[in-house]
Amino acid sequence: MIQYALVTKQDELSKKIAQEIKDGLKEIANYNQEKPDLVISVGGDGTMLTSVHQYLNQDVGYIGVHTGTLGFYTDYLKDEIDELIMAIKNNQYKINHRNLLEVSVYRHGKKDTYLALNEMRIDYGFVTQVINVYIDDELLEVFRGNGLCVSTPSGSTAYNKSIGGAVIYPGTPLMQLTEVAPIQHNAYRSLGASMILDANRVIKLESNHFKCVSMGIDNLHFDFSDVEKIEIRIATKTVNFIEYRSMSFIQRIRRAFICE
Ligand code: NAD
């Protein structure tokens, strides 16, 4: 029997949909919050990010039900629960492997590592951030501005897109470095464009301003003190999204951004 868990946004509608799913799966799957094979996220993209971070250390598959409008990580809508139950019952699916970023923060003589499905971002608009950006230990630029975002192909349609980064067709292990409000004049200048890097590259960030670093990793926020450097690379670990019915990336983009 399939072992499944639910991660539910704490609003009334999502809780009601989660109960519907539980009732529907009673005969065919076993509810197992600790050791699931399948994690069903009920809410929106933020709930899916929470689900992924909750089960990051386990080998699970993810499927999303959207209880609001339309999400990027969610394949089913709130009125398609019967279809989802049937799909789980039929157990026919494709696995979509999504790349993660490995973000290493060096401070106080040790290294802490975080994984990101969408992106890592340093974004602080009140004091100019001055950050030395290295690619494989070679200085690319001294960035001055609000901050920097490094995103995965999955995250390219999220914050990265809002700050002018490119949308990357998923499936290839790539990461994208995008500037947030760079200062560009005759004294200070940075690349001023997104840079897309492959899995052999390492982005290193160093700064005299890293006494206090406010960092976003997906929907999580961290405040670090006395950071020596931050390294970002594509992680060897991936997360598995379960596709019971196929929806192309272009369809997903049209649904989320283009069609009314
Ligand atoms: P949230 O969960 O409310 O998400 C904010 C918006 O980002 C939602 O509309 C969500 O559907 C969308 N989103 C999330 N992942 C996406 C993806 N991969 N592709 C397309 N859209 C996506 O906010 P939160 O919990 O603070 O942060 C979660 C994520 O939201 C972050 O990883 C970041 O990428 C994104 N975000 C975007 C902006 C922006 O576009 N200006 C601002 C803050 C956060």
Look up tokens 């009673």; give the residue: 26
Share of the chain above pLDDT 90, in %: 87
- With beta carbons less than 8 A apart as the criterion, state whether 42 and 7 touch: yes
Q: Give pLDDT tens digits for 200-250.
A: 999 999 998 898 999 999 999 999 999 999 999 999 999 999 999 988 999
pLDDT of 70 reads 64
Catalytic residue among 11, 23, 37, 45: 45
The 3-class SS string of the chain reads CEEEEEEECCCHHHHHHHHHHHHHHCCCEEECCCCCCEEEEEECHHHHHHHHHHCCCCCCEEEEEECCCCCCCCCEECCCHHHHHHHHHHCCCEEEEEEEEEEEEEECCEEEEEEECCEEEEECCCCCEEEEEEECCEEEEEEEEEEEEEECCHHHHCHHHHCCCCCCCCCCCEEEEEEEEECCCCCCCCCCCCEEEECCCCEEEECCCCCEEEEEECCEEEEEECEEEEEEEEEEEEEEEEECCCCCHHHHHHHHHHCC
Instruction: State the distance from the centre of ligand 1 to the C-alpha of 254, rounded, in angstroms.
Output: 17
The pLDDT of residue 260 is above 80: no
Query: Quick check: 244 and 92 in contact, CB under 8 A?
Result: yes
Would you say the CB of residue 151 lies under 6 angstroms from ligand 1?
no
> Please, what are the domains in the chain?
2-93+244-258 (3.40.50.10330), 99-236 (2.60.200.30)
Taking only the tens place, the pLDDT of each residue in 45-59 is: 999 999 999 999 999
What tokens were used for 156? 């390219």
Torsion of CA 29, 31, 35, 41, to 10 degrees: 90
Query: What confidence tens digit (pLDDT) does each residue in 7-61 have?
Result: 999 999 999 999 999 999 999 999 999 999 999 999 999 999 999 999 999 999 9
198 catalytic, yes or no? no
* pLDDT tens-digit readout, 101-138: 999 999 999 999 999 999 999 998 899 999 999 999 99
pTM: 0.96
Q: What is the pLDDT of residue 69?
A: 72
- CB of 155 within 6 A of ligand 1: the answer is yes
44 lines ligand 1 (CB under 6 A): yes
CA–CA dist 190, 177 (Å, integer): 12
- pLDDT confidence of residue 246: 87
| Cβ atoms 232, 150 nearer than 8 A | yes
The pLDDT tens digits for 71-96 are 889 989 999 999 999 999 999 999 99
Please tell me the predicted confidence (pLDDT) of residue 71.
83
Nearest to 196 by CA among 160, 220, 230: 160
- Model pLDDT, residue 93: 93
